[in-house]
Amino acid sequence: MRVFSSAKTSDNSERVVLERVSAVAEALPRLPRADCVLLDLQLPDAVGLDGLARILAEAPTIAVVVLTGRQDDTAGIAAVGAGAQDYLAKDQVDGQLLLRALRYAWERGRAEQFEQRLLQHQLLMRENARLERGLLPSPLIEDPRLGLTVRYRPGRDGTLLGGDFYDAIEVPDGSVRLIIGDVSGHGPDEAALGVALRIAWRSVVLAGMPMSDVLDLVEKLLLVEAIQPLFATVCALTVAPDRRSLRMTLAGHPPPLLLDSPDGPRLLSENLGPPLGVTPGIERHELHVPLGRQWSLLLYTDGIFEGRTPDGRRHTGPERMHDIATRLLPERRDRDETLDRLIRTMDALHGGPLDDDIALALLTCDPAGERR
């Protein structure tokens, strides 16, 4: 039995290093540094396909070429079916054929590994997309005057969902409830808690709970479900049935940006209370905001502005994000493209994709929608 590895020499030619062993047990410790194995099916400690099975159990991705007896195609085909890359008859092997077979087996093994990783990645992406569609909400708004455009992007590679969450529901009296929030920390526990808080909020809103009680119940769930001390920032608001005013509660969350208001763009930043989970049971205050006939309201989580500039010296900051949003939002009627441009611009200021989770919700009111 022979174990091969290869390397490039100084003149860029290929150098093959051969280690000869007489038993599978001697080969197993050498497999991590090997590229290919030439395996005799008749060894002192392994007969037939037993040696192949032991080698592949120890090194599943290694290329193996088996040596069979004279004209024994049946054993060779069985070995290939069991995971070998190729087989050779002992009485038909010469130096060139052997080297070509080993090189072919090695390259074929590498190609199969790449295809397997690609397939696994594609399957994971499709599965993640299906799961994310199930976990992210479907806003329930029927009023043709209102438009809701959302964007959600986890901030860590390979993550399905982050700790940010949002939801929106039009209730029977015609008012619209909307929430956006951010669970402190990063990881699967925080993501799961964010989903739980969103579902809890939707459940109590659909049950007809008054706005003053909803956040208290959501906070109680946070305290029960969090497996470690965590808090969540939240912006919750109710738009009146006539769409000319809203009531809002902030719990440690960045204030939304109101556009097209009678007083021009402004932040709704009064009565900022502590995050959920910090001071349970505290009385929370509502801010009443009058609205014009046509308006846009941007809600967001802090991931959109907490990226650092490429030199790493300072955060981009909310003021810069507000200036960019104020310029972009009124100039485009394509709200999807507007939010995408906002994210791309903030990514560029960061010098690459932002590190943190991002959730954006753009709620617009256009009276012309009633006539469409």
- Assign domain 2-129 to its CATH superfamily: Response regulator (3.40.50.2300)
Higher-pLDDT residue of 164, 124: 164
Confidence of residue 232 (pLDDT cuts 50, 70, 90): very high
Structure tokens that stand for 292 in this block: 């014009």
Name, in order, each residue with C-beta under 8 angstroms of 1's C-beta and a sequence gap of 6 or more.
20, 21, 22, 23, 24, 26, 27, 37, 38, 39, 40, 43, 51
Name, in order, each residue with C-beta under 8 angstroms of 221's C-beta and a sequence gap of 6 or more.
196, 197, 200
Specify the pairing of strand 287-290 against strand 245-251: antiparallel
- Tens of pLDDT, residues 255-312: 999 987 666 688 887 667 899 998 888 888 889 999 988 899 999 999 898 877 666 6
Query: What's the mean pLDDT in 328-354?
Result: 83
Beta bridge partners of 110: none
3-state DSSP call for residue 237? strand
CA–CA gap between residue 172 and residue 164 (Å, rounded): 27
Structure tokens that stand for 170 in this block: 């039009």
- Domain 136-371, classified CATH 3.60.40.10, yes or no: yes
pLDDT of residue 371: 41
Name, in order, each residue with C-beta under 8 angstroms of 110's C-beta and a sequence gap of 6 or more.
63
Q: Which residue has the tokens 């993501």?
A: 191
Average pLDDT, the chain: 80
**What's the pTM value of the predicted model, to 2 decimals?**
0.64
Query: What's the mean pLDDT in 20-49?
Result: 80
pLDDT of residue 372: 41
Give the start-to-end residue ranges of the domains of the chain.
2-129, 136-371
